[in-house]
Amino acid sequence: MDMKEKILNNLDNPHALELLFRQDPAAFRRAFPEVRKQDPESIVLAVWQERFMEQAEASEAKSRLLARDLRLALLLAALAGLCTRVILHFVIGQTIAPVNILYGVVPFMAAYFALTQKPDKKLLLNLAGLFLGSLIYINILPLQESDSIIMAYLHLPVFLWIVLGLAFTGNDHRSIEARLAYIRFNGEFAIVYAIFAISGMILTALTLMLFELALPGQDVAKFYLENVVVFGAAALSLVATYLVTTQLKLAKTLAPWIARIFSPLVFLTLLAYLAVLLMAGRNPFLDRDFLIAFNGILLVVLAITIFTLTEKSNGDKRQLGDLLTVALICLALMIDIVALASIVFRLSSYGLTPNRIVVLGVNLLIGGHLAWILAAYGKFLRKKTAPPAVQRAVTQYLPAYGAWAAFVFLAFPWIFR
């Protein structure tokens, strides 16, 4: 029995029709026009026709939207690549700081979000003002490698990351769900960009090998890296943004698994690392490299913890992974306390410097965030609250990082000039 006969035999059985459609949607759609011709008065078939027409219109509208977004992404990708190459020219000439490279990519990503989401004019003006103001300010600073200037350069990416988040969340920038979506976007973006970057590196190696064989004695690598690779690396940011926000489901599938797998691995690695350091007799109060390593660990743990928490849904039950996350946060807080004690000791012993004040501020900032997350997680494990309460502890603290980055970026070069 073909699909047409099956449909005709089940016109009085809506449930059977639905099962037929789900089993083979393509065959059902092909047979439907002939069935409709044989029984044009059927109310059931009229309902199905309206359903197919609505789906077709929705699919067509989505295709037009995706095509428009793709054209926009490709245009911005080309502009980002060209802008980054121009900025690199001035960086090589040592007329501007290398951190200006960020402005060849981040504003174009923000423009993509703004043009696809259409936020209100006030938000657009704020975004433009933040990008333009920070660009002018960073180039007013003297080109010297003093500690305060270097701290400003290091905090500029954090500041721009928060501004990019404002563009991503748009008019919903106060919404917890929008902020969680931005954090997820960062993880998925990193996965997609890394996959394409690895492919690009393989292509680059192959290209350089072939051209060096064809043009022996010519410095092909320098030209290729400064032009093609730089352009491609910048343009890829916009292509990855488009894929993550509209098309690619692979990253959305991989991201939760990466979060679940890496949490216990990071916990075990940290335990082993701390055990080795203790057995080696390293002293964070006197060993500067040890203190730097501790702060690096804190940043990694914070990133893993935040990304793990964003993948929890409202219906998730308490699992072994939650206990591992809590253990990871507790371990990070212990590290933070030791790091705080170490930097206070160094401040009291050796005096104030921009580096030490920044390390103190970062440790206080991360410690406060981890403590808030741990308190919310404790209530979740005691069944006094749901995952959204833990996620609020993650998202509501994010502006504090932007405020701190803006303070260091704007004030330190003048306080410690």
The angle, 0 to 180 degrees and rounded to 10, between the axes of the packed helices 250-280 and 176-214 is: 90
Give the span between the Cα atoms of 253 and 258, in whole angstroms.
9
Residue 237 tokens read as: 């940011």
Q: What is the residue range of 346's domain?
A: 254-417
Residues 342 and 395 in one domain: yes
Residues 240 and 331 in one domain: no
Residues 98 and 241 in one domain: yes
- Residue whose entry in the numeric block shows the structure tokens 């995952």: 387
Per-residue pLDDT of the chain (417 residues; tens, 9 = 90+): 577 777 777 777 777 777 777 777 778 777 777 777 777 777 777 777 777 777 766 666 566 666 788 888 999 999 999 999 999 999 998 899 999 999 999 999 999 999 888 888 899 999 999 999 999 999 998 887 788 899 999 999 999 999 999 999 988 888 888 888 898 888 889 888 988 899 888 888 888 888 777 667 677 788 888 888 999 999 999 999 998 888 666 656 666 677 677 777 777 877 887 777 677 666 666 666 667 777 777 787 788 777 777 766 555 566 666 788 888 888 888 888 888 888 888 888 888 888 888 888 988 998 899 899 888 888 888 777 777 778 888 888 889 999 999 999 998 888 887
Instruction: Decide if 53 is inside a domain.
Output: no
Give the span between the Cα atoms of 211 and 215, in whole angstroms.
6
C-alpha dist (Å) from residue 48 to 7, 11, 32, 39, 106:
11, 11, 9, 13, 47
Residues 357 and 380 in one domain: yes
Residues 279 and 335 in one domain: yes
Among 187, 222, 248, which residue terminates a domain? 248
Residues 145 and 131 in one domain: yes
Task: Quickly count: other Cβ atoms within 10 Å of residue 122's Cβ.
Answer: 9
Looking at residue 195, what is its pLDDT?
A: 87
Give the span between the Cα atoms of 329 and 332, in whole angstroms.
5
Looking at residue 253, what is its pLDDT?
A: 66
DSSP 8-state secondary structure symbol assigned to residue 403 = H
Looking at residue 107, what is its pLDDT?
A: 96
Residues 265 and 231 in one domain: no
Residues 8 and 141 in one domain: no
Residues 307 and 352 in one domain: yes
Among 248, 276, 302, which residue terminates a domain? 248
Looking at residue 133, what is its pLDDT?
A: 94
- Residue whose entry in the numeric block shows the structure tokens 């109060």: 285
Residues 125 and 182 in one domain: yes
Q: Which residues of 327-355 are buried (b: 16+ CB within 10 A; e: fewer)?
A: ebbebbbebbebbbebbeebeeeeeeebb
Instruction: Decide if 55 is inside a domain.
Output: no
